[in-house]
Amino acid sequence: DGQETIPSDAIREEYENLSDLIRKYRFAYYQEDEPLVSDAEFDTLFRRLEEIEALHPELVSNDSPTQEVGGEVSAAFAAVEHLQRMYSLEDVFSLEELEAWLNRAEAGIAKLGNGTARAAWLTELKIDGLAVNLLYRDGKLVRAATRGDGTTGEDITHNVLTIKEIPQELTGDGFPAEMEVRGEVFIPSKAFAEFNEALIEAGKAPLANPRNAAAGSLRQKDPAETAKRPLKMFVHGIGAREGLQARSQSETYALLKEWGLPVSPYFEVLESRADVLAFIAKYGEQRHKLLHEIDGIVIKVDDFGTQRALGYTTRVPRWAVAYKYPPEEVHTKLLDIQVNV
């Protein structure tokens, strides 16, 4: 960590330019579903902004990109308030950074000393799709929204209703009267390749990547268009949950599965750091053979009491972290071009 110094004019200028550029790239990515740069490039810029802020905290304002969950509400959709806020994830880009994060988190958990702290990590794949928030009232799906800025999202209920896998009515009983289920909507890799092949055959431009294809599909004006896209979803979180009888995220997944919601087959609850690292290595090797594209691994504290005690920053939970695999150049057979993933 560097020492704090008074920012020079050059640093101030770099900071302002970088903030503007990040806002512009976020707008293209979240609002237009058409990124102007690769994720790796974006991440590098974001990192640099965080670095400047660490050295010059007086530059940080409430509307700095680091203080906000990227994404806004487009005028094309009705705005909806989430019952509970939605967050982004803190990223780490190397195993060293992950170790440092785990050290900090474990020290934080040890300090809680409340006896409820279980050292179990819920490890999941970081699905490259679009976050959605499903609101169930008395077991009925009444609303679906994008994450937006975390507080307010876009109403995409009519489009989500076309995804067969998302139950419009929960099965079984015992669910909370009001429950927000968060998950990632994505296009499976194989379906994405087939969909693109069909577009090319029809003389149309193929979609750039599954993430933007999923996002673009869900943010269609016409649900009939959304219905044509091969969308799937896996749950990865829960918001409002009054009365939910579960002590941990993994217990919640078991319940959500019973109620008919799509839970990923890939998650594990791991007790040791060595197991977490092995999980990362395993999926690093298999990443292109999975049902869907991933851009990393998400590691979460499983226990709800500990999650609550660790809490949140303005942008991310302190009880979870996303490990991003190093960017790689792959050769896609389909498009026969070099793409960054």
Binding residues for NAD(+): 39-43, 88-89, 124, 147, 184, 300, 324
Task: Tell me, rounded to whole angstroms, the distance of Cα 155 from its chain centroid.
Answer: 18
Beta-strand pair 91-92/320-324: parallel
SS3 133: strand
Nearer residue to ligand NAD within complex by CB, 71 or 167: 71
151 binds ligand NAD (CB under 6 A): no
89 binds ligand NAD (CB under 6 A): yes
- Candidate segments 122-130, 162-170, 188-196, 283-291, binder of ligand NAD by CB under 6 A: 122-130
Q: Distance between CA atoms of 227 and 221, rounded to whole angstroms? A: 12
Applying CB under 6 A, which of residues 15, 19, 25, 304 lies at the interface with ligand NAD?
A: 25
Are 134 and 121 in contact by the 8 Å Cβ rule? The answer is no
SS3 30: helix
Nearer residue to ligand NAD within complex by CB, 91 or 303: 91
91 binds ligand NAD (CB under 6 A): yes
215 binds ligand NAD (CB under 6 A): no
DSSP for residue 57 = G
Locate 154 and state its tokens. 């876009």
279 binds ligand NAD (CB under 6 A): no
* Three-class DSSP labels, 247-310: CEHHHHHHHHHHCCCCECCCCEEECCHHHHHHHHHHHHHHCCCCCCCEEEEEEEECEHHHHHHH
**Residue 288 identity:** H
- Total of residues contacting ligand NAD (CB under 6 A): 24
Are 298 and 125 in contact by the 8 Å Cβ rule? The answer is yes
DSSP H helices, the chain, are 9-26, 39-55, 95-112, 157-160, 189-201, 210-218, 223-227, 249-258, 273-286, 304-310
Specify whether 126 is catalytic.
yes
Distance of closest approach, residue 35 Cβ to ligand NAD, in angstroms: 4
Applying CB under 6 A, which of residues 15, 31, 33, 42 lies at the interface with ligand NAD?
A: 42
231 binds ligand NAD (CB under 6 A): no
Nearer residue to ligand NAD within complex by CB, 174 or 311: 311
Nearer residue to ligand NAD within complex by CB, 89 or 207: 89
- Candidate segments 11-19, 30-38, 106-114, 154-162, binder of ligand NAD by CB under 6 A: 30-38
Applying CB under 6 A, which of residues 143, 236, 241, 292 lies at the interface with ligand NAD?
A: 236
| Residue of 126, 140, 204, 221 with catalytic role | 126
56 binds ligand NAD (CB under 6 A): no
Distance of closest approach, residue 91 Cβ to ligand NAD, in angstroms: 5
Distance of closest approach, residue 1 Cβ to ligand NAD, in angstroms: 22
Are 279 and 267 in contact by the 8 Å Cβ rule? The answer is no
Q: Which residue matches tokens 């009001």?
A: 178
Q: Can you give the C-alpha Rg of the chain in angstroms?
A: 20
Could you list the residues that contact ligand NAD (CB under 6 A)? 25-26, 29, 35-39, 42-43, 70, 88-89, 91, 124, 126-127, 131, 147, 184, 236-237, 298, 322
Which are the catalytic amino acids? 126
